[in-house]
Amino acid sequence: MLGFSLVEKRDFPEAEFSLYFLALVDKAQIPDDDAARNEWMKSIPGILELTHNHGTESDATASYHNGNSDPRGFGHICVSVPDVKVACERFEALGVDFQKRLSDGRMNSLAFIKDPDGYWVEIIQPTPL
């Protein structure tokens, strides 16, 4: 939905978790060779690292705190897009849940959408400083 490509997955079965590294890149740019990919990952502007703790998908009691309710903590990630209005129109058409639309409040140059787990993702359009 946001255009991220999976760059690399690392499994740690002894510790029962996996790491997923995602980036806003063309999949054709991702090197096949492990060593080359590791070096390439250090050279790109940004990577989103996600952790999957094994077993949580089948544990009805497992939950995550998104940091946007008490006790506050981690709040959100931010993704910049070429055109925030076009992006928000696309999210709206796809039925994405919004925390804040462009028209909400005084800060009408940014929006917040929610991922399926309720984590906030800020959507901005970069502007020159």
State the residue range of the domain holding 28.
5-58
Q: Is 76 within any annotated ligand binding site? A: yes
- Report the alpha-carbon distance of residue 118 to residue 66 in Å, rounded: 7
pTM above 0.85, yes or no: no
Q: Catalytic pick from 14, 57, 92, 122?
A: 122
pLDDT of residue 72: 83
What's the pLDDT at 16?
Answer: 94
Task: Say how far apart CA 69 and CA 75 lie, in whole Å.
Answer: 9
Report the relative pairing of strands 76-80 and 120-124 from DSSP bridges: parallel
Cα separation of 5 and 24, whole Å?
A: 6
Q: Cα(63)–Cα(60) distance, rounded to whole angstroms?
A: 8
Both 113 and 84 in a single domain?
A: yes
At residue 40, the pLDDT reads 93
Query: Quick one: pLDDT band at residue 129, thresholds 50, 70, 90?
Result: very low
Pair of tokens at residue 15: 């510790």
58 against 62, higher pLDDT: 58
User: What total of structural domains would you count in the chain?
Assistant: 2
State residue 17's pLDDT score: 95
* Cα gap 76→57, rounded to integer Å: 22
For residue 68, tell me if it sits in a domain: no
Q: DSSP state, 75?
A: -
Residue 86 lies in a domain: yes
Any catalytic annotation for residue 14? no
Mean pLDDT computed over 83-112: 94
pLDDT over 90 at 94, yes or no: yes
Same domain, 14 and 48: yes
Residue 63: inside a domain, yes or no?
A: no
